Each structure stands twice: as structure tokens, then as C-alpha cells.
Structure 1
Amino acid sequence: ADDMRASHDILAAEDERAQVRQDPPSELEDAWPDESLSIPLAQPALQSRADECLRKRPRQPGIYFLGERREQDERAEPMPWLAALVCSSAFDLALHDAYGELLRRPTYETYGPEFMSHDLSAYLTPADGAGVSFKGRYPADYLVFPRPKALRAWHLTGGLDPLDESELTGAEPDDGYPVLLSDWIERDGLKCLKVKLRGNDAEWDYERLVKVGRIALSHQAEWLSADFNCTVTEPTYVNSILDRLLIEEPRVYGMILYVEQPFPYDLEANQIDVHSVSARKPLFMDESAHDWQLVRLGRTLGWSGVALKTCKTQTGALLTLCWAKAHGMTLMVQDLTNPMLAQVPHVLLAAHAGTIMGVETNSMQFYPDASLVEAAVHPGLYRRRNGQVDLSTIQGPGFGYQIHRIERALPEPEAEFGE
């Protein structure tokens, strides 16, 4: 979803023309996690679904259209819900952006009764016994205004990333960017570190958290999150690591702000009671949180927070945000390594959501030069400074891309709408 790009031209309120340009998603393994289906077989199906979104989308809320079309799909290998969301996400973002452009308003100012035909009760159902009603409520009621001008930036510490010189192999890139964790912290002034763990090797996971925590403490970083990567099957695995940290490394334990998705992403097939984990630390759904219905199920199992992603559609992220906030759940906005224009709606979602802390943003770690053209207009979005990303250049209608100032050569439109 990171590499799918969409742009639009709005000529006038009475004469709307949208141009959509797309590239195929690069994270096919995540969108379609079926070992029996190779990428060459999956990609045509994903491309076909994206084309269908572009050319045949009816005048109805896209979340309904997407679900109905998936149910009607007669492919031998049904498309996973996540893959369908990824295919729709670029077009969905373009629609939200175009609506703001049409109204000459920032998109986040269009999520109230003045510009929406239905309240949230048309889309959301409260949990039984929660005392929540969505009648007369709109997304704007759950968003943060005014948005913050800057956000704390979370750095991704991968399982294979060298933490210190003893872990260097000699195969590291020599491209002028940091390699060691301490160098990243010093250069970007990082305060928040996400730690990727294995989830099937408790001793390795414990030692990794301790080592990252000690590096963080020695370089004035303040917060950690623990991502167990969907591989844990028993809550006791996570609990034992947290309990050991509390006793042996209390400062590192105290730095852990939340725990992310330890358990398998297919929540319906793996309905594990996780209340014991969320009693220790906030426990966030990520890969499991495809839509608000799954979040509703997760809440009954003990999950206390939700990670939102624009690659699962802006529409879906907003609906999940509203449902979760109404039911007292905490929010985070996670990255799928969003480069170029994708970074803008990503950080805007975090700014208006009111997250537990800041936003995860890591495209500057993995392909920093990919966004040099956009960085000329939005320098604070593509380089973390003082541990933050700066949103001050996001201005104007729609998502505030200022796309006509960005000298990005895009391919020809896949489809055009209007005259």
C-alpha cells in the first residue's frame, strides 16, 4: 500500500474531474498471507480489484461496495479482506482528498453534519451494554481540533538491525545514513523506539528489550513499544517477559508504553483471552484491526487499544477510530513505511486521532531518498528532527498536499471521471 499513489484534479464544484494514478502494492505478503499463493498469482488479482475500484465504483459508501464485491467474488482463491482494503486504499484516500478540494476545505473539516449525509449510526453498532450511541454523532466529534503542529516520531528497531558495533557484519550500506541505533537516536533526537521481537524465543526477546532499553537510557530516549509480531499463542509468554523486566530491569519495564499485537492476526480463528496482558500494559491490536467489527471482538477478549493505518483505507480508519474512542479504547497510528504523498494522510490521521503518543514513521529509515521531491515542499515530514515530524507545511484544502508545488513525475492516469 505504501507505493500506491493517487492524485486528482478538481476543476470546479459543478465540474469535478478526478485523475487516479496507481502502482501495485509492494507488501503483497502482508496483504495476502497465503503460502499456497505466489506473488505472480496474487498480483493480477490485486491489480484487477484496484482497477474495479477505479472504473466501477458506484455512488455509495465505499466500505459497503468493497464488502459486497468481495462476497460476489468467484475466484478459486478468495481475496482476503486485508488485500481488498489495500487495493481500495489509494482510491479511497483520493476521494477524501477530492471532497475537501471540491469544498475548498481541509478534508478533516468535512467530517461533520454540514458535509455528511448520515451520522455514524448508519455505519457503526455499539457493543452490547456499553451505554454508547452513535445517533447524532459524526467523525468530527471524536477528532482532535486544532491538530498539533508536530508529533513525536517512533523509530522502528528491527530484529536484524545492529544495535552496537559488536553486531556489525561488514555488509551494512555505506550511504551516509545511520546504521547503529545510537547513531539514529543522536542524529534524529529520537525519544520513542519500537522494538521488533520474535515471539517464539522468550530469552532472545527479553535480552533484546533490555539491550535496546539500556541504549535508549544512555542516549536520553524515553519510550519503548514491544512488537511481538503475531507469533505468540499463549498470554503467559508475554506476561513472563513483562514480569521479569519489572523485577530485574524496572526502568526498562517503565519505559514500555504499550505492547503491540503479540497474537495471531486472524482474531476470529484465535479468540485468545488477553485480559492478563492488558492488565500489565496497554495492549494494541494492529494486524487484527482490519475494521471496527474486529475491534469490537477484540475488546471482549481484553485488547485495550487499536493501531490505525491508512493503507486499510481512510474510511475504515475513521470508523474504527470513532468506535474505539466511543468505547474508551486508546489509539495509535502505525506505519507501513509510507513514502512520498502517502506520508501526508498518514501523519494527519495521527494528528487528528489523539494517539497514545505521536506516530510511527520509518520511511526515512528504509528508503529516505524516495521522498526527496516531496521533502522539498514538506521538509519536516521526511526527516525526524528533535524526535518529531513537523506538520506545519500541510496547508490548504483536501489533505494539504500542495501537490502542484511537488515536482513528482507521475505515470498517466489509470482512469478519469467527469468531463
Structure 2
Amino acid sequence: MPLKFGTEILSSVTCARVKVTVQNKLGEQSYGWGETPLSVQWVWPTDTEYSIRYDSLLEFCEFIKIRWQSFDSFGHCIEIGHELIMKDLPEALKQFNLCKIVDSEPMPWLAALVCASPFDIAIHDAFGMVNNVPIYHAYGKEFLSSDLASFIDPAEDSAVQFNGRHPSDFLELNPPSEIPVWHLVGGLDPLEQEDLTGGEPNDGYPVYLREWIERDGLNCLKIKLRGNDAEWDYERLVRIGTISQDLGVEYLTTDFNCTVTDPAYVNEILDRLKLEKLETFRRILYVEQPFPYDLEKNRIAVHSVAERKPLFMDESAHDWKHVRLGRELGWTGVALKTCKTQTGALLSLCWARAHGMDLMVQDLTNPMLAQIPHVLLGAHAGTIMGVESNGMQFYPDASLQEAKLHPGVYKRNRGMLDISTIKGNGFGYGI
């Protein structure tokens, strides 16, 4: 099934898979793996031709691969990740864009982060492998000599201090073996059998929403909306709310696709739901990123939305500095993604939790190896409700090989993901 991102439709994706070799001070070597889908439409929403953007992402992956092959420094994976992502990547992106065709649209920072993320994830995996430790057990002072104050600064209006604190202080170090999972209801997805057109795939997997809920025992639905058609958005919410009540789905969230420019648009829909469809309104756990990606250019005060429902940053939360700006503008939560780098996700997590912001972990339709760091972040982040995972909706067969080792990670059951098979050093891929 195709997936609608903003004004574009995604029907295929290329994944970047990276293998990194590291050596510790004892001379011991090991390697790690990282993978991220290069979701062009999500990282680079624009009118520029798709093929130009797609080729640029592939070229930039190759560009930083060559650039970082010469990186020669000892340190913790967060220290190395911070050096590469926060210090070198901006310069790499600048150089890359300068080398492009004159007058061509420069590749944005979010696209650069997604290209860099498989490298960063692989470094974290390799650190765990070479030190014989599961990676989430390696984020404390036993392994990381630098404290968080070396990487992030507190908000000026807070009493928060990061001196002497480490990522492990903000993580759930003993997560459950099962976590709640969110299903994505795309803007093109049929909801009931009556919505089928006859052109849907006939591959043995569910097609319309009611089928998915019944097969996977779903309890959490993320609803993609248009953000520029209030009546369509409202009616979509009403229909899905009705199905949710019929089948006992408890939680909904709304994703307005970053196309809203006025908080009143969201407020009016929420207020109308509260007045006319109270049960649907009550099921909405939070609202996700209604407003444009670029937070610095679109400094929209969003307090009025957050007064109605918790309001989570997603595309705008590039790093902890953007999370800090979001908090100033009234956002109350952060949706983390490993596709913006493991290092960046951890630092944003620590900053947000220290300042009382809620957390979620959202998907980039992660298949294959990309799914494992993603669900581990969801398990360790202390989210308000599990993790979003929708790769099994759009290309389930892509992960058949990985599912042999981790069946519960790639198929939802009773509305949960079973992560009990993810064991061992690094990310516990088992490959």
C-alpha cells in the first residue's frame, strides 16, 4: 500500500546499510551495523523533482562515507557521534551543497541527518560489540567519562543541571519484554471493506483498517490527516473514532502532516470533536507536529493547542537545541526517531525528560535491521505509550530474514511488540 507524506506519496524506499569497524585501546577490533530508510519525501518535502532529491541522498551517503573513513579518534560512541553529527556534519553538508549544480535547491539538514544516521547507529553498535556490552548498558558513567554537560545546556528559565549526569540517568534500563505498538492510518488507507476499490494488493495481508485492528489486536492508532482541509480531517477522525469505539481501540493520535500554519485550524477541529464526538476526543492521547518543519523560520506560538491536548514535536525536533526552542514556543512533548541519529535521539531524550517534556518514539517505516534500534529506543525511552511501528503494514516481506530471529519485533500481536529476543552485545541484532 502507498503511504502519503505531506503532499507526496511514497510507494518505494531505499535503505542505507552501513558496517563500521572500530578498535579499542587494547587493540581489539569489532564491527557494528546501522540501517535507515532514505525516505525522500519525508526528509525533503519540496517541489524539486523526486529523482534529483533521491540521487542527492545517495550521493551524500557516499560523500560522508569517504569523509569519515579517515576519522581517527578514541572515545565513547556518544562522544564520537557528537563530534561527527554536531560538529562535522554541518560543514560536510555545506561543502556538499556548494558542489551541487548552480541554482539547485540545497539539501536540507533533516536529509543530512537521515543520511548520517546509519553511520552513527553502526558506531553505537560497534561500541557495544567491542566492549562486550548491550548498548543501553553502556550509556552510564562506567563507560562514558564525559557527563551530559559536555553535550547539552539547560534552558535558561529552569533549575536543571547536567553536570555529573549521564544518559543512563534518564533511560528505562529494565524495560518490559513487550511494548504497546501504534498502527499508522495513512491518508490513502481504506478504513472499511466498502472503501476498497479493487486495486488493492492481494497478498494475504490485511488491507483496510478494521482488518488490521482485528488481526493484530491493535489498541493505538496514529491518524494521518491533510492539515489543509478541515472538513476532510474532521470526518476522517469521526470515522476512525467510530471504528475505534466498535473494536475497543483505546488510543488515537493525530498527525496533521506539517501543513498547518495557524493553531486555530487544529483548535477548531479538537473543539468540534469535544462538542460533537466526545468519545473520539477522549481517545486522542496527543497531537503530533501540525506545523511546518523549520521551527526557526516558523516560530508559531502553540500554547493554545497544547492546552487542549499534549503537543509533540516530530519533524522539527532535529536535535536538543530545536527541542529547547519548541519548549519556548509551547510544545509539551517530543517524538524521537533513530533516523535522526542515535546520538541525537539520546541527547534530545535527556534534555526533554530533564525539562518535564513527554516522549514518544515514532517510526520512519523501519524495516529489516532499522527496526531493532528503533524499538529498543522505544523500550528504553520511557514513552507515554510504547512505540509506533508500521513497516509490517507497507512492506512486511522486506523483513522476513530478520523476523526468523525476532518474530515478535516484526509482527504485532495483541497490540504489542515482543522484544524479548533482542539480546546480546551492541543492539543485539543477532547477525
TM-score computed with the length of structure 2 as normaliser: 0.89
Q: 1:78 to 1:215 in 2, by over 3 A?
A: same
Correspondence for 1:278 among 297, 306, 309: 306
1:198-217 counterparts in 2 under 5 A? 198-217=226-245
Q: 1:373 to 1:44 in 2, by over 3 A?
A: closer
Task: Work out the CA distance in 1 between the residues paired with 2:161 and 2:241.
Answer: 42
The reply to whether residue 374 of structure 1 matches residue 402 of structure 2 is yes
CA deviations 1:294-349 (Å, max 9, x no partner) are 11111111000000100110000001000111111000000001111111100000
The reply to whether residue 4 of structure 1 matches residue 16 of structure 2 is yes
Match of 2:40 in 1: 28
Q: 1:114 to 1:20 in 2, by over 3 A?
A: closer
Correspondence for 1:177 among 197, 205, 216: 205
SS at match of 2:398: helix
Q: 1:308 to 1:280 in 2, by over 3 A?
A: same
SS at match of 1:176: coil
Q: CA deviation at 1:69?
A: 2.8
Match of 1:119 in 2: 147
Q: Tell whether the 8 Å contact from 1:2 to 1:311 is kept in structure 2 after alignment.
A: no
Q: Tell whether the 8 Å contact from 1:259 to 1:281 is kept in structure 2 after alignment.
A: yes
Match of 2:99 in 1: 75
Q: Tell whether the 8 Å contact from 1:32 to 1:42 is kept in structure 2 after alignment.
A: no
1:318-337 counterparts in 2 under 5 A? 318-337=346-365
The reply to whether residue 104 of structure 1 matches residue 132 of structure 2 is yes
What one-letter code is carried by the residue in structure 1 that aligns with 2:376? L
Task: Work out the CA distance in 1 between the residues paired with 2:161 and 2:35.
Answer: 38
The reply to whether residue 167 of structure 1 matches residue 190 of structure 2 is no
What one-letter code is carried by the residue in structure 2 that aligns with 1:163? L
Q: 1:80 to 1:296 in 2, by over 3 A?
A: same
Q: CA deviation at 1:42?
A: 2.0
CA deviations 1:25-59 (Å, max 9, x no partner) are 54123223343365335245423334235523353
SS at match of 1:151: strand
Q: CA deviation at 1:6?
A: 3.1
Task: Work out the CA distance in 2 between the residues paired with 1:330 and 1:372.
Answer: 34
Q: 1:22 to 1:103 in 2, by over 3 A?
A: closer
Larger RCO: 1 or 2 (CA < 8 Å, sep 6+): 1
Q: CA deviation at 1:20?
A: 6.2
SS at match of 2:165: coil
The reply to whether residue 49 of structure 1 matches residue 67 of structure 2 is no
Q: 1:11 to 1:292 in 2, by over 3 A?
A: closer
Match of 2:8 in 1: none
SS at match of 2:335: strand
Unaligned runs of 5+ in 1: 404-419
Task: Work out the CA distance in 2 between the residues paired with 1:320 and 1:86.
Answer: 16
Task: Work out the CA distance in 2 between the residues paired with 1:357 and 1:2.
Answer: 29
CA RMSD of aligned residues (A): 2.0
Identity of aligned residues (%): 57
Correspondence for 2:270 among 242, 246, 251: 242
SS at match of 2:237: helix
Match of 1:193 in 2: 221
Q: CA deviation at 1:220?
A: 1.3
Q: CA deviation at 1:275?
A: 0.0
Q: 1:66 to 1:209 in 2, by over 3 A?
A: same
Task: Work out the CA distance in 2 between the residues paired with 1:58 and 1:123.
Answer: 20
Task: Work out the CA distance in 1 between the residues paired with 2:281 and 2:176.
Answer: 29
Q: CA deviation at 1:145?
A: 1.8
Correspondence for 1:39 among 35, 40, 51: 51
SS at match of 2:334: strand
Q: Tell whether the 8 Å contact from 1:49 to 1:87 is kept in structure 2 after alignment.
A: no
What one-letter code is carried by the residue in structure 1 that aligns with 2:150? A
Q: CA deviation at 1:67?
A: 2.8
Correspondence for 2:31 among 8, 11, 18: 18
Q: Tell whether the 8 Å contact from 1:2 to 1:338 is kept in structure 2 after alignment.
A: no
The reply to whether residue 85 of structure 1 matches residue 98 of structure 2 is no
CA deviations 1:80-128 (Å, max 9, x no partner) are 2111111111111111011111111110111111111311111101111
Task: Work out the CA distance in 2 between the residues paired with 1:21 and 1:125.
Answer: 28
Q: 1:79 to 1:56 in 2, by over 3 A?
A: farther
TM-score computed with the length of structure 1 as normaliser: 0.91
Unaligned runs of 5+ in 2: 1-12, 74-79
